[in-house]
Structures are given as C-alpha cells and as structure tokens.
Amino acid sequence: MTTSKTVKIRKGMNIPLKGEADKVHGTPPVSDTFAIKPTDFHGIRPKLTVKQGDEVLAGSPLFFDKDNPDIVFTSPVSGEIAEIVRGEKRKILDILILADKQNRHVDFPKGNPSNMSREDVIKTLLKSGTWPMIRQRPLDIIANPSDKPKSIFISAFDSNPLAPDMDFVVHGNGDDFQTGLDALAKLTEGRVHLNVRNEQGASKVFLNARNVQVNKVSGPHPAGNVGVQIHHIDPINKGEVVWFVTPQDVLVIGRLFNTGKFDASRMVALAGPGIKKPQYYKTMIGASVKGLINEHATEGNHRIISGNPLTGKKIGKDGYLGFYDAQICVLDEGDHYEFFGWMAPGGNKFSLSRTYPSWLMKSKKYNIDTNLHGEHRAFVMSGQYEKVFPMDIFPVYLIKAIMANDIEKMEELGIYEVAPEDFALCEFVCTSKIDVQDVVRKGLDQIRIENAPAKHH
C-alpha cells in the first residue's frame, strides 16, 4: 500500500429510501434467457458477428465496435441466439440468448498478470469481452486500449440509494480481486486508486489489497461516485485520461486470469419499497429479471429499474439486468394525483428544503415513488444544485453552457471532469424538473464529436 489520501465530502445528500437489501444470499430462479444490450455501451456503433440460431459459448463474440474493432462484446452464457431485437432505423436493441442448462466456456490464456506484458494483458481483456468493463473519464465511455491512462480508479463503495454493499459482495473473493488489481496495475504507469468508505470498517479484501493506493473517502452521496473521487484525489487536466472499473468487474477480470474463463457472475441487490424481502442474489450479467420480480415483488403498479433509482434504466417486468448494473430496484409508480397535496402536512414526505416536518426525523426511511409532483418549469433557481454538488465546478453555469451549445464555455467550466451520474442529485432536487443527466450526456457527446469529427455521425 502506498501513501493514502483522506477525502471528506461535505456537500450532497443521502436519500433515505425504504427497502434496503438485507445482507443475506437468496436463491434466484433459473434464468433461461439473457440479453446483451448494445445501448448499455454509450458511444459505440455495434457490428454483429452472430445471427439468429447461432450457437455460442460464454465468451464468444456477439458484436464489436465499428470505430474500434478490437473492442469485442461477448456472450455471458453458452446457448443459442434466440432473437436479435431491433428498434427504429434497425438499431440493435437486444441480443437474446437462450441459455444451455450447463454453461460452457471459451478457453482464454490464464496466468498471473504480474508476470505478463502490458500488451498480453490488454489482448486477453479485449478477446474475452471484459475490456468494456474498463471505462474512462473524460466523456464517460469505454476506455480506448491505445491510450495510456494517468491512473485507474476503483470506488469500493456505492453511496446511491439502496445500492449494494460492496464489502458484502467481495467477501471471500480476495484472490480473484487481487488478480484483477494486478491486471489493472499493468495498464497504467500511474497509480491504481482503491477508494474505501472512511466511516465504517472496510472489508479485509479491500484493506489488504496490494499493488494499489487505498484512499479513504467520507461524506454523503455522491461520495461513492468515481467522478467525485477523481476530482478530489487526482483531477483530470486537459488532454489527460483516467480509467475506472467497478469492484464486481475487477472480480470478473481476476477470474478471467485465474481460470481462463469469462465468468459473468454478478451479485445483485434486489431492493426497493416494492419488494417483500429485499436481499442479495447471485446471477449473471444480462440475466432476465422476470423470475425474481414475479416471486418477490408486492402487489401494485411498480417501476422496475436496472441500476439505482437515480441513474438506472426502466426495464419492465420482462427486462434484463444491464451490463454495468449490480442492483434491481422496484419503486411504486407515481401515477396518482394528490388533491390539495400542497396543503397536507407531509410528515411522510422526504424533502431537502425542510418544506415538511420530516427533516426532524433523521433516521426515518421513506417510500418515495416516481411522481414528479409538478410540471417542467422555467430554469430559474438559486443555490439548489450547489448544495448537493461536491465538485469545484459551477453546475448551473455548466448546464446552461451545454444548453447553449457553447463548447468553449463547457470546457472552461469543467465538462471533462463530469459524467451524467454526478448530476443525478441535482436532477432529484431540481424544482424546474430539468433532465439534467440528459443535458450532461448531450454535452459530452457534443465534445466527443467535436474532437473526432471524422469518426462519428
């Protein structure tokens, strides 16, 4: 372990949502179908390598990125390509795989990454389809294998509402985690930063990790966001690139080098007010959530989200777990109208602005539904975003620069440091109901197109 840093985040907010997963392993129903969604990978242009009816193994290529053909996306299970679902303009939405009863794998070279060359580590990651697990800032897209990042970040905790406890998830997987870290250490001449939560004792798997710098971070959400951690520990200057990986993906990378197999196992927290008994399930990337929802959701009209309630995607009861997601949340659909809602005392409502007396009950958890409580309004506000945005950036000015499509101003105001998830809390507290995360995404896409005009449409 090298010299560690301690970071204290002061701005932000923990959202006290009901339905946190108990630290218990449940037995998930067997998922027959799996889906890999090219839309999970922002900024790529997929080119299929399979067609309906083809047989695949776990680790067989399904498609690659037209702009960077070395980046391959592989099947999480063995089976048959059941369907290729397309949307408007023949855009590929889902590649559905009907899984075999017994999972069979492609064999990749195994070995200790510490004894391998950087090129061999990259080659194995690319070929196995684990490379897309490595993403980069700026732009929040899959890392470019020809770049040399100045450092690599792993946030060992997730501060989003109802997020899985990473200490619980990695428990007992120290060997695979260390091998994953050793592989990542080969990719940068800088440091691999492993950031643990300061308030509570982190797992031994994290604290005993070698070949990394363990930093301690404290404070409310978004302290667990990797972008916030990069900003405070090793900020990105113009022209620099930082890569990041989630702890569960470090495990997948570690298992790849230890066993020579792409093992897409993933521990998922099934959580939210719409779940009878929130707990953890071991499943696979791209698994169908249908069985889990049918078995564990309460009666009522629910919204099923792959990911967390602030940044996740609405998937429906027949949906599939997203490539990067480690939680499935079930919230009540807010499709009701509150007659004279503004007159009610609101003791059961959560509010940042102390509108309701609920702020007096600090440990209370709430059943927050998806109701927006109002329409879109003009973008006039003061200080709302700044209260929950813990970076040295002016969030409102940056959003306005993006809306005005002013690239120079966006750069001046720090767009290279941010990703949509860093603005999720701003969106949550925004009284103008602006889709701030969408705005940031558009801004980043604009910058990407500006920097590579020949490659993108």
Q: Which residues pair with 76 in a beta bridge?
A: none
The DSSP code sequence of 100-137 is -SS--B-----S-GGGS-HHHHHHHHHHHT-GGG-EEE
Closest residue by Cα to residue 97 from 159, 52, 153, 30: 52
d(CA 328, CA 315): 10
d(CA 397, CA 406): 11
Give the tens place of pLDDT for each residue, 311-321. Answer: 999 998 999 99
The DSSP code sequence of 289-302 is -HHHHHHHBPSS-E
Give the tens place of pLDDT for each residue, 81-126. Answer: 999 999 999 999 999 999 999 999 999 999 999 999 999 999 999 9
DSSP SS3 for 179 = helix
Question: Exposed (0-12), middle (13-18) or buried (19+): which is 52, by Cβ within 10 Å?
Answer: exposed
Give the tens place of pLDDT for each residue, 151-182. Answer: 999 999 999 999 999 999 999 999 999 999 99
d(CA 219, CA 197): 9
Q: Which residues pair with 280 in a beta bridge?
A: 25, 269
Place of tokens 């017994």: 102
pTM of the complete model: 0.90
pLDDT band at 455 (very low <50, low <70, confident <90, very high): very low
Question: Exposed (0-12), middle (13-18) or buried (19+): which is 217, by Cβ within 10 Å?
Answer: buried
